[in-house]
Amino acid sequence: MADINIDFNSINSDFSGTRTMKQGSQELVSFHQSSAIRIWCNEQSADFEPHWHTAMEIIVPVENWYDAIIHGETYHLTPGDILLIPSGELHALKAPEKGVRFIFLFDISSVARLNGFASIQSMMNAPLYITKNTHPHIYDDVYHILLQMRNEYFNKNEFAELTIFSLLLNLMVKLGTNHLNDTNLFSFSNTRPYKQKEYINKFNDVMDYIDAHYMDDFTLEDVASAIGFSKYHFSRLFKQYTGFSFCAYICHRRIKVAEELLEQPDLSITEIAMQSGFPSISTFNRVFRQQRNCSPSEYREKNRYPIKIS
């Protein structure tokens, strides 16, 4: 991915040279000139303590290794490896004394509102480690898409941001399609191709429905019945499709919403619990503590005051 004919520095000259962190562990990403993108040619030898940000991050080393530590697991990245870190994921980074890697940062909030995105987002609830061995069928395509993004950005093309986001959508569709193929989610011996497509469309609709109605009181049985499955059949397929049980995914989605609402100081904890879809403040506090190891109030307090770090 390195190319001596491209200037990897001047386009990021708008960056002040410091990173903005809140008092807790949230980093406020400085996107390029108020866009929704920042791509770095990163040569820093500094390590970074556990932090998170609302941006989706993709790391691609080109010289020497680079480590990302997420949920106690170390992803040891070597040149050509690709690591996608979802927004909101707490991660630490370790660098060698000398090395180069590209860091892609995207604000995908506008993309997240597109129909069908919820089903792809469910696949990206955990880090995605992509190598020639782990994803042999799509690795070359994914790497080429990232290379195109990099070239658009550093060559300062007039419609770079639009082009990069069109490439990002293409990347997400490839990842989602590969996920379905790898899990063989709807590959039943007695299921015809047209029926498989029908099932996929149904589950895409389910994810869109959850994304739009997480505040509502609905059950697994309600959703399974609405798309014509038994609750047992639906439960098994939903776990394959998302990596979550149905109830766990609903909680996960609601906690994500709550984290965003906790950024608004004018909302009370009770209001946030209700707007996130939790039936009571006690349930909200219990589930939030289980997933974030602190109460909603503690989370808000820890992330209130921004500071600058080098």
Q: Is 41 left (phi over 0), alpha (psi -120 to 50) or beta?
A: beta
pLDDT value for 201: 79
Task: Specify the 3-state DSSP secondary structure of 217.
Answer: coil
Which amino acid belongs to residue 158?
Answer: E
Out of 7-16, 77-86, 149-158, least confident range: 7-16
Structural contact between residues 48 and 93, judged by C-beta atoms closer than 8 angstroms: yes
- pLDDT above 90: residue 134: yes
**C-beta neighbour count of 87 within 10 angstroms:** 21
Residue of 153, 158, 168 whose CA lies nearest to 14: 153
Query: What is the edge-to-edge ordering of all strands in the sheet holding 306-309?
Result: 27-28, 19-22, 306-309
**Mean pLDDT, rounded, of the chain:** 86
pLDDT value for 26: 76
More confident residue, 283 or 190: 283
Band (pLDDT 50/70/90 cuts) for residue 305 is low
Q: Identify the DSSP state of 229.
A: -
